[in-house]
Amino acid sequence: MEITMARYAGFCPGVRRAIRMAEEVLRDPGKPAFSVGPIIHNPQVVEELERKGLRVLPEDPAEWEEAGLAGSRVIIRSHGIPPLLTRRLMDLGAEPVDATCPTVKKAQKAAMRLVGEGYHLFIVGNREHPEVEAILGHVNRDAVVIKEIRELKEWWEGQTRMVRKVGLIAQTTVDLLTFRSLVEGLITEVPEMIREVSEMKLINTLCRNTLARQAEALQLALAHDLVVVVGGRNSSNTEFLRKICETAGARAVKVETAEELDLSEFKEVSRVAVVGGASTPRKRLEEVRRLLAGL
């Protein structure tokens, strides 16, 4: 079996930075260390940090009081958090350590700029994703999150305000195909809306590292029978990679670790590619490669 490893493997710069900052915080034994939710979307890495002393706060801030945050340091993960929650941490006596990825920060700033300039803001992405939640928090939730054209149409039908200026950004890890189809859809699928709009401003908030991973995954999918996508089950960028591989016509198998592979799926396969999400350590991909090489 021919096995190709993705060149864009291992942590992306934003995740590497967040882990480095967490490790620095953990080196100071004098202060308890927390993170707001899992620091990255990879349970194995989160467990490793927990073993070193990092405690994961629940997503619900109503439960933070019980954690005893006074005098602690709290790492804000690469996805960022709404400013209200940063203030809540400080009110509870914690020192926030901001590990928000600089690319995510740019998306937050783009959202604030567009809303500040009077644009009706659309965010292409997943409304349940913490990054989108954080962006919404930076604009007092004055934005519409869309993942499918259907949602845009539904929003328009319920709309009573005149829409003259439309601003558009994306969750940093959205795949290019989804983004393109939503941008096109905004112009072509809701003609009543575009008749009303006089100005449309798009700020490119897509992450370069993610785009490079997606482009490589697409190329690998076109040249291989099967692609193993390694990453956290709750990792949005990993799921986008799987979707891209399937769109390219390849079979895609998504796993968190090599042990999850069903080896019977590889019986008739001669060319396999191994790709990984932004929060997947390179060693996880290597483990998959070693296992497959032994078949």
Helix, strand or coil, per DSSP, at residue 178: helix
Strands 271-276 and 251-255 turn out to be unpaired
How many residues bind ligand SF4, per CB under 6 A?
15
Q: Which is nearer to ligand SF4, 212 or 255 (CB)?
A: 212
Residues 46-85 that bind ligand SF4 (CB under 6 A): 78
Among positions 39, 94, 101, 292, the unique one binding ligand SF4 when judged by CB under 6 A:
101
* Residues 133-172: x where in contact with ligand SF4 by CB under 6 A, - otherwise, as a string: ---------------------------------------x
104 part of the interface to ligand SF4, by CB under 6 A: yes
Q: Which residue has the CB atom at the shortest distance from ligand SF4?
A: 14
- Sequence-distant (6+) residues with CB within 8 A of 208 are 103
Q: Which candidate, 205, 202, 87, places its Cα nearest to that of 137?
A: 87
Place of tokens 């690469």: 78
For the chain, the distance separating the N- and C-terminal CA atoms, rounded to the nearest angstrom, is: 8
- Contact flag: residue 278 with ligand SF4 (CB under 6 A): yes
Question: Judged by CB under 6 A, which of 207, 211, 272, 292 binds ligand SF4?
Answer: 207
The amino acid at 10: G
Residue 65 annotated to the active site: no
Q: Which of 59, 63, 131, 259 is catalytic?
A: 131
CA 254 to CA 241: how far, in whole Å?
9
Q: Is 103 in the site for ligand SF4 (CB under 6 A)?
A: yes
Two tokens, residue 203: 């700020």
The answer to whether residues 245 and 252 touch, using CB atoms and an 8 Å cutoff, is: yes
- Asked whether position 12 contacts ligand SF4 by CB under 6 A, the answer is yes
**Sign of dihedral through CA atoms 34, 39, 42, 48?**
negative
Q: Which is nearer to ligand SF4, 145 or 206 (CB)?
A: 206
Taking the CB of residue 102, how many other CB atoms lie within 10 A of it?
10
Among all residues, which ones are annotated catalytic? 131
- The residues that touch ligand SF4, with contacts defined as CB under 6 A, are 12-15, 78, 101, 103-104, 172-173, 207, 209-210, 237, 278
